[in-house]
Chains A and B, each alone.
Chain A
Amino acid sequence: MKKIHYVSFLVLMWVGWSCNDQKFLDKDPTNILTNDKVWQSPNLVLTVLVDLYDRYPEVQSTEKWVEYANFDEAFASSAGEYYRHKNQEYNYDWWNYWDYGYLREMNLFIQKCTAATQLDEASKKRFLAEARYLRASFYFEEVKRMGGVPLILEPLQYDFSGDPTYLQYARSKESEIYDFVISEMEAIKNDLPSDPNIKSRATKGLALATEARAALYAGSIAKYGVNTPQVALPGGEVGIEASKATAYFQQSLKASEELIALGQYALYLKKPTDLSDNFASLFTDKSNNAEAIFVKDFKLKSGKTTDWTIINQPRSVAEEQQGGRLNPSLNLVQSFEKLDNTFATYGYTDASGANRYFSNPLELFAGRDARLAGTVILPGSQFKGKTVDIWAGYLLTNNTVISGDNFGARKVLPGKTIEEQVVGFDGPIDGLEFSAQTGFYVRKYQDPTVGSGQLGTRSEVWWIRYRYAEVILNAAEAAFELGQNAKAAGYLNQVRKRAGFTKDLVSADITFDRIVHERKVELAFENHILWDMKRWRLAHVVWNGNATELTTQPGVATETSTRIFGLWPYKVYAPGTEQNGKWIFRKIIPSNVTNPHRFRLGNYYSLISEEIRSNNPKIVKNPNQ
């Protein structure tokens, strides 16, 4: 018995001794990649970088449709989102952004990439430039939303001493952040590939486009900041001195023209015979698209797909029991010019206020900027080869309306015995979600391919963050601000020709209102409106909280536009008269639009939360909150 004990003890000792091996305790993990593994393979480094690209911040995009309904461009036809039209005020912390975790990872990436020894020089240079691009983009986003923020260019490390004060950085000036973005773009532009076919990674063209946009923003804040002297902090964290404006505009124009001179990008013009269709294709055509500069790309069956089309497809041609959420407002729709370069509201009534009759609803919208039908699905127009069914009901001769409360509802018309359809399969029906409650659906970015509206398929249409037309508009604006009106007219005409305008603008036509208007119609639903209105200091003027009627001067930049209006088409039911079967229009305001929007001075720069300010007492609060 004792013998067995001894033997087993010996065996145990032997086993224990054999385990005492350095190697056993020093195994490589199989479920994570360690730093030294990653930083020797360009492919693995790219996967790290891809994650940083994926976290690129933005407020509005095709993945965040509802953010488009915050202002006066569109109505959210979705039951849970009506509050956006009922709120009077924007909370001070709306659009705030303080993602220093993301920044730290970019700083770590730059630090490790700089130290890496096993990467070839060419890939290392490109990776570094891309990371610096993303870091500058992060700061650009911060400064747009929050004003000057702490500029930290190294990963910070806590030493566990119990005193974190050495990690507390004060906010930089707003101008310093813009200067940083501009200088970074200048520094990296030649390290990035100069290849227009690269769309989803940083290129030289992108660096120049970003520089032009940032300098333009800084210049207009410097120039128009004088209109809102209260929107400033004594330390310059918010607000830029007016004297800096000219230099910024020059910088912006220089960068835009450098990009234009590259000759790599061009306005999309594959369908010159149908400019509206051409404008719509610009956003969905991914093959040899010379206009897109930087995109977020999607791919079918890869797990990275977008549901913009599912969410917004016209209800009548929808591939699922949903769609129709984003309804462009009449405010936006009437902003598109007539082709003779003049502005006008829609003439759906004559001078005495009586209805005008149309044999086709599209007649009302004829002779307008081609971008209108490329941006908006109008009543009577087509999507995916089918005519959408937008009409609000029958108008009888005694001026009463027969309509239904569901898509394509049926009722018996007077003098008839059989039920028939009395309202479109797209509505508009007030208060019914997914119906075109303003009378319009959005067309931009809607994918025309079959299956794009199915939940099981989704869509691979990309989301364009920078495109050539914006660069041209940036150049036009910078030139205008520098007093070079002839040059500005030349740039504007390039974009306007593509929109079907045959009569060129001359330098005498170029005004601030023109610049504002051109961006509004060209760049609608492209994540520009908020930043543009902020930098021009127009937001508190246009969204001023007054419940006014729809403006009759859509070309004037300062006109109040606080509530969303719609324009509903009706069919006329008057058997035996010549009006029978014709169309009339009525301006409406959706019943869920109960309050005017009010952009307060405290909304110009978003609230830095009390948590952040308490953790770092050096952070000063933004003004007017």
Chain B
Amino acid sequence: MKKYLFLLLIGSLVTSCKLDNYDPPASELKGRIVYKGEPIGVEYNNVTFELWEPGWGKKGSINVNVDQDGSYATQLFDGNYKLIIPSYQGPFKSIPNAETKSDTIPVQLRGSRTMDIEVLPYYMIRNATFTGGEKKVSTQFSIEKIITDASAKNIEEVALYISKTSFVDVRTNIASQVIKGADLKTMNRIQMQVTVPTITPAQNFVFARVKLKVSGVEDPIFSAIQKVTY
């Protein structure tokens, strides 16, 4: 008798769990931050944008992180969201949305969706190539100035970073070469080179990418990350 009672109790616990639970958010919103279809590289964990869903008691945004390669992904409930890239986020400016006539982008989410966000970067790093050999990593790239009107900004510095892992920026690099904006003679086919320091445990490859810091903007622009053997 007691045994049955016990089983019944367990049974009731199991069913009750189901009753008061929500389904987890199942719709994925993903995409990239792009300029004319080309993704914009940024620092990991340092560029975010905000999603607001109006109609709830408390106000608060869902912050979405942009990955190093300019991609993002977030798991959400279906609903109508407003997407805002705050002005101080990222090495770019928002393009006014045609529908809202402001920097607010309406996002209707009914199931998973891929959405690239078009923005206007200050500069783009073009045709970055990386080569390795003889304990050195070299790069060649060009810079294109995208914003040329009154809000244009100068280049503070460009830098080549190499890193042991695929996280490559000022924080994780093991070697770098920096050229200040004032010392930059040309915008085309800029060449940079760093010597790879001794890595323990030894590995015959590093990850490299080029940074461009715009003066007066905190987040720098990056080229794509490339694995280079040396």
Contact = CB atoms under 8 A, between A and B. Distances in A.
Contacts of A89: 45
Interface residues of B, number: 13
B171 A598 contact: yes
B217 to A, nearest CB: 8
A230 B88 contact: yes
B59 interface: yes
The interface residues of chain B, by DSSP majority, are classed as loop
Given A545-B170, A546-B170, A624-B88, A229 B216 contact: yes
Contact of B216 (A230, A545, A595, A613): A230
A158 to B, nearest CB: 19
Contacts of B218: 230, 600-601, 624
Contacts of B112: none
A617 B57 CA distance: 12
B171 A545 contact: yes
A243 interface: no
B133 interface: no
B154 to A, nearest CB: 14
A439 interface: no
B60 to A, nearest CB: 5
B60 A623 contact: no
B43 to A, nearest CB: 10
A595 B167 CA distance: 14
Given A613-B59, A614-B60, A623-B88, A596 B216 contact: no
Interface in A88-123: 88-89
Contacts of B46: 600
A547 interface: yes
A585 B100 CA distance: 66
Contact of A595 (B58, B88, B171): B171
A58 interface: no
Contacts of B171: 88, 545, 547, 595-596, 598
Interface residues on A, range: 20 to 34
B64 to A, nearest CB: 15
B88 A614 contact: no
A320 interface: no
A20 B171 CA distance: 78
Interface in A29-61: none
Contacts of A602: 88
Given A623-B88, A624-B218, A617 B59 contact: yes
Interface string A76-92: 00000000000011000
Interface in A122-177: none
A229 B217 CA distance: 10
Interface of B: 45-46, 58-61, 88, 170-171, 173, 216-218
Interface of A: 88-89, 229-230, 544-547, 595-596, 598, 600-602, 610, 613-614, 617, 623-624
Given A545-B171, A602-B88, 14 more contacts: A229-B216, A230-B217, A230-B218, A544-B170, A547-B173, A595-B171, A596-B171, A598-B171, A601-B218, A610-B59, A613-B60, A614-B59, A614-B60, A624-B218
21 contacts: A89-B45, A229-B216, A230-B88, A230-B216, A230-B217, A546-B170, A547-B173, A596-B171, A598-B171, A600-B218, A601-B88, A601-B218, A602-B88, A610-B59, A610-B60, A610-B61, A613-B59, A613-B60, A617-B59, A623-B88, A624-B88
